[in-house]
Amino acid sequence: MTLKRIFVASPYTLGDTGENVHNAITTANDLIDLGFAPFSPLLSHFLHIYHPRPYEDWVAQDNCWLILCDAVLRLDGESIGADNECRLAIDNKIPVFYDLRELVKHYRRGE
């Protein structure tokens, strides 16, 4: 069985960065528990601590992976970056979900 690749699009810099990273990582863990293969771009937060790069570098990295994903899960919160990721997904005919339950229901129907 091939796991569905889910890109976790979420706020990062607006609000509490630590809480935003925590929420994205927790969601990624939940997705693993549910049988998906998540890609959480906010994990690059830790790489950036030791090896800072310009914002544009991170966006390029994230977008490279996003277009390989089966779906995007957009977490709550204001974020221009996450909104841009959702637009890229839609432009590439990748479904965007705004609720974990809806994502799970969508993929469980196909089993």
State pLDDT tens for residues 52-101: 999 999 999 999 999 999 999 999 999 999 999 999 999 999 999 999 99
Band of pLDDT at residue 9, cut at 50, 70 and 90: very high
- Per-chain mean pLDDT for the chain: 94
Q: What is the CATH number of the domain that holds 38?
A: 3.40.50.10400
26's tokens: 């927790």
- pLDDT at position 3 is 95
- pLDDT at position 75 is 97
- pLDDT at position 79 is 95
Q: Kindly tell me the sign of the dihedral angle through the C-alpha atoms of 16, 21, 27, 33.
A: negative
**Integer Cα distance of 93 and 101 in angstroms:** 21
Domain that holds residue 67: 5-109
| Number of alpha carbons in the 13 Å side-chain half-sphere of residue 11 | 13
| Number of alpha carbons in the 13 Å side-chain half-sphere of residue 59 | 11
Q: How many folded domains does the chain comprise?
A: 1
